[in-house]
Amino acid sequence: MHAELQLDNQICFRLYTAARLITQAYTPLLTGLGITYPQYLVLMVLWEKDEQPVNDIARRLLLETNTVTPLLQRMEKLGLVIRKKGELDKRQQIVSLTEKGKAMEEEAYAQIPAGMKDQLSACPMKVEDYQYLAQKLDSIIATLKKQ
């Protein structure tokens, strides 16, 4: 067998597994809020800047609009966001947080960072290690985004 095809030599497998397990670690924290991990990502985008076009949200999450739209529809049913037609371009949909969606930011802040820190406390990484890892992952993402 070629060494390049061995699972233990694949960075992609490690990235996939880490992403899957991190998402899994978020699940109990998000279940308490009544949301999924993808919904949490959308909320974080809107907490940074409310009232954004669907296209901008999709771009920020590196997703297609046809992936984000059903997600937003489910969030609207939960009363977290509202969608309305753009004032200048009626074809554009603007997504805004509801009061419930805005209030959830404080709940998330009170539970999620500390909860994830607890789950990762056995990991022997320092803050600097996480920052370094984030920079390297950003580099990989930027490179692959161009292709």
The model carries a pTM of 0.91
Closest CA to 45 of 98, 109, 87, 95: 95
Whether the pLDDT of residue 88 is over 90: the answer is no
Confidence of residue 81 (pLDDT cuts 50, 70, 90): very high
15-45 per-position pLDDT tens digit: 999 999 999 999 999 999 999 999 999 999 9
Separation between Cα atoms, residue 64 and residue 58, nearest integer Å = 6
d(CA 68, CA 62): 10
pLDDT digits (tens, 9 = 90+) for 92-133: 899 999 999 999 999 999 999 999 999 999 999 999 999 999
**Residue 86 pLDDT > 90, yes or no?**
no
CATH of domain 22-146: 1.10.10.10
> What residues contact 61, with CB distance under 8 A and at least 6 apart?
41, 42, 45, 68
**Which of 106, 35, 107 has the alpha carbon at shortest distance from 76?**
35
Domain assignments of the chain as residue spans, ordered by start: 22-146
